Structure 1
């Protein structure tokens, strides 16, 4: 079941931005209300959705919006795992990575990114989207829609339009171009600089607040299995085959 669900996500959702208004739900109808994440992705109205478990596994991703390895991990590992095991995962996304910041004479922060100005803009857009949408169940689909597209930046307005009824693209642009976005990116810089051990590359993955070479390797190769193994409560149904 786990393999089938993951393949469904990757196959159906990979072309999201190119024909986004007609994206089918990648899950059969009987699964639409099995988690808040799937219900949101399929835009289904559900009752009695399972609540997030108190002992959920913490997955934190420090990444860059245009980094190929970061995009691959999010699209092929983190998002499908979160979508199928969302009630036992708490996900944190911090777009900054190997960027650098400088405090200018105007008091604003100036950012330099590994993949150029476009990546700085992508980081800022995703940060503002996450700020306004607040919860991962609301913003993860938008970020996935962007990161799985051919052009991350061009897809952003349409991805937001599809998955957010309350936050407009104009609002996100105001954040990106104003003091709010500047300060939010500075917070991402502080969070990244505070990592212990300090990050050496991206994607940089923390599992339950810890980073080791072994955890990074397991997360990048089989995050679903890792989450199932680490979750200490009653195993969710998709984990039974692991």
Structure 2
């Protein structure tokens, strides 16, 4: 049974690596707006963005026009021997891997977000708080070569950004960086949508105006020294 599960994980990972590691889906594959979040697990601003900002995309009908893609690498560095060095230490590397395994194990974006949001809320006891002791699938992925392959794929995706990311959370909407204009996120998504589905209620002018008061996030800059 364990062998069969591992085989499935490797299969899905191959598909993931082949088709997901791009900043935008292949033209014509989806008319949804591609919202990519480049982040690292122990960055305070990333946690705030995931917990308090992204929730609106999953608790409303914004998901009808948006594909949210998580890229858990952030400001990590990749050494010549392909070792990943995380900005906030080994624990951040571990949680980045855990979240990479969540993404590849659960194809449903809402389920991915639910688990990732929980992990970011409970970084010290995520396993008992978020999985109720039933994290076998995630641990199997984490303890295998698959998690390393996933992280190297995310490293390639992040380090290939053009323009380069300056800090995290780094958000792109259809490949265009949002920079630190987080209050404009929903309006950027609404204005970028070219599909035929009705625009969500969150896209009306009143709702968009209310977001102008969103506070700035505490970003972590890519050129800052690692904490450990």
TM-score by length of 1: 0.65
- Residue 103 of structure 1 contacts residue 110 of structure 1 at CA under 8 Å; is this kept in 2? yes
2:31 is equivalent to residue 55 of structure 1: yes
Unaligned runs of 5+ in 1: 1-52, 163-167
- Give the match for residue 114 of structure 1: 87
TM-score by length of 2: 0.69
**Distance of 1:238 and 1:197 partners within structure 2:** 29
2:44 is equivalent to residue 81 of structure 1: no
What's the RMSD between the two structures over aligned residues? 2.2
Higher relative contact order (CA 8 A, sep 6+): 2
2:129 is equivalent to residue 158 of structure 1: yes
- Give the match for residue 6 of structure 1: none
- Give the match for residue 216 of structure 1: 179
Where is the helix percentage greater, Structure 1 or Structure 2? 1
Q: Secondary structure at the match of 2:131?
A: helix
Post-superposition offset of 1:224: 2.6
Distance 1:229 1:161, change over 3 A: farther
Post-superposition offset of 1:87: 0.9
- Residue 65 of structure 2 contacts residue 199 of structure 2 at CA under 8 Å; is this kept in 1? no
2:162 is equivalent to residue 185 of structure 1: no
**Distance of 2:45 and 2:92 partners within structure 1:** 14
Distance 1:161 1:231, change over 3 A: farther
Hey, which bits of structure 1, 4+ residues long, moved more than 3 A? none
